[in-house]
Structure 1
């Protein structure tokens, strides 16, 4: 893929038109094949005609040799000797016969080394397009599945609300204990259904963000890589055809050089540039899903934990989500080595002196397979993370969310669905282990740079607010956060990292600015503030600031850091120079103390030689 332009970055949600564009160019290969086969026919016909012509004039020369050499009535016949002019003419006719053979050879070379190669290229590209289309279909199905789960959760919640209202109406007519117990049970069911509905809303929103800002752009870039790889191979075939013809006939060398010049100017990115220029469109991100209250019951989007029943259900959900998150994190971590190595090689495709077209197509095939598995596990991890955040951020502080007493193995025996899910994870793990046995990849990684809006990019991209909101999973009020502002007043709010606004409803902040909170984080990962230093108001990422002033008691809590036992250290594999305030410069071989784990943004907060800040996670092991 070209380093200057990316279809995934420039064209939003453009799989349909990009895929059609790539397939149109693949179909064009059949026209190129047809051209060279017609050329081969012409060369064969010319070779046949030239051979016949040379033979005819060999006969004429033989019949006139004596007359031309020595005259019609020589006193002494020349025997086998020929006149010098005839010797020269004989050489011309001999070379003409060889030229006919050269044309016949060129016809065969056009058939086997050009036309057949174009057919092979088309088949390889068609197979890779099918693989990428399958990957895109899988991503779309995951997104649609999340939407369907949300729809079902809403329907279930509405049904429980109606049942609750019916039970309540009966209770008002009968004061019996049975009616009261029944009404209470229906209320618990309704509350549980509501909590589930709220979780699925958050999951659907995050899956939607991941689909449009990470998955779809990645698919589009794969299509772009495929198209540009096809162009590289096609260019090499064209150059080969020119060389074949140049070897046959030096007289047309100038014309072939002109053709080569045109081919060499057909850079892979030129097609992409024109495509982008003619396909730019206004695009708006689909609106987030919002809580829709039941027409007969709750009218707000707060979690309901009115008794131990709801609390126990949330604790079970939390335990399961934590288990799934850990499993998916393990799978993704085991796959990242292969994926990062392939990604580094993929970046090498940008260099003209890098991989050949054939190697590029083979590399893309490996990359798509690895990316498909990794993305599946990352999506499952994201769903689990959203559920953890949803529960931890919305359950009041007075409730204990400890899951120490929950035995998921016993619960799993009662839930066939959960057992099947665990089985699928086991199968996936076994497949991954088999894949690892057959693959030898270097554990290197080419980290993405920062985007133009200043947000840190993950392994693929960081295009949405949802990416920033992941950082809520690491607390923003601990000792690590405070260490970034040691020189500030501990009683005042502080800016931990500088942020440059990208939307009208946001505001920019710089380390050292004073601000006040206008509206606390509602779970979106953004806090509305007034920058007292500049006088501006707007949203900033919650993880970029430390809030020390009193806020409303019902404001969502940042989830506590995951329990990690002891502090760990990592070793720098690559050197990194800090680009802005809040980052940490590291040198290859440094041992860095991890103060806060990577929250999904691709950056880890650590300490080196008394200095603290963010550094790229993938630069260390």
Structure 2
């Protein structure tokens, strides 16, 4: 039996039950804390008592062994020869040892038991919080021992009677020899009586310890009978409620637009659904591998946890359990995503069939466009260092992020060269440096990413190279550039123009061309300047980019070259 299978939808009840158990650990820790303090105070008082009577013993040792008036020539007396004094010394010493053991016991309770209980309680509370955090995430995604001691008064009273009797006999005696003999008998009888008292004292202490051990053995037996599974079943059996699986969600039509649950099967929808299907299948393949890896990881942790629980000396089972729970949470999320993508695949296949297997889908990757590039789908511009678009790494197809799912899943697996495609025979391998530098419409650019030429028409460049661009991107995604005495094609998205803003101006006012040599420009246009000395008050330029400041769209407009009034524009600032 388990909480998960028997107590459905009762996370709050289970959490309160577990939390109560953790709170009990804190109660038990407080109990140990108070018990340790009592043991410490007990040990301190016993040590003080032993110290007090040891001092008295040292002061009276000579008198108790040889009397107050020893022979004058006996300057050194071996007091340890007295069996009486030796016994008294041992009693004090062993009592002090017991006090020290009690002090150690108090320290053991504090360091080994109390702190361990604190650590366990803290760890269990952290784990509980993690479970509750995870449970909340899923809900959001889914909607001591007492001692007794007897008094020895009875034996003490008997000794007092015996001492009184001896005293009476002494009072009646008149013979000195008899008196000495009786005094000796009295002293010896006192020692015998005291020996008997000490014997009783030690036996009483032993009896207390034996009784304490019996109580501890009983507690240990009860502790060994603790069974967490039985306690869990008890909780389960007292908290069962009826449960019905929630119904599946069904399609709900809009209150203002009549619709059905069937997916639309027109050309545009099939393109979108085909791309959605391809993505879902790729995600399923990736998730299946990750889920299998997590499943093996969970199996290994469960075996390790069982081994540590059976033999705690092998390792910390709590640490393994914490890692196991974390991995199970990760596995649950992966499995949830797998079901989501599997549902998508099944729904799409049911609607349009499994058409993705015979199509070559694009392998789109996030791309940054540092110069204007035309979206091959909507024919508007992509420009910006943020990830605003995608490029197919197989065929070089460029598109906006918003256009990705609308691109027909037909990849040629070959990069298009547009009007830059050169044959091996017609492309010169060495380009004239003089010819390049004499041209006016050239730009300096820095290479952002390595590019290895796939064809003779391409140019191999490395990150950080400075190249000279003499033909910008015409919409194909490629520029023609010169580097190290060679010319060729380089991906436009792989380079960044230097001092770009000094070559561009922004149009302030609309202007309608008056002749074929002039340009028609509109406010907000961004124009690339190629010559500022065509005529006084006029600039010749290559109208290459249109910039919409509200939406940050920029694009190439057919490479049209013409003249325009210089006072109609202002330098473009970054």
TM-score, normalised on structure 1?
0.44
Higher gyration radius (CA): 2
TM-score, normalised on structure 2?
0.48
Task: From the two aligned structures, give the one with the greater helix fraction.
Answer: 1
**Taking CA–CA contacts closer than 8 Å with sequence separation of 6 or more, which of the two structures ends up with the larger relative contact order?**
1
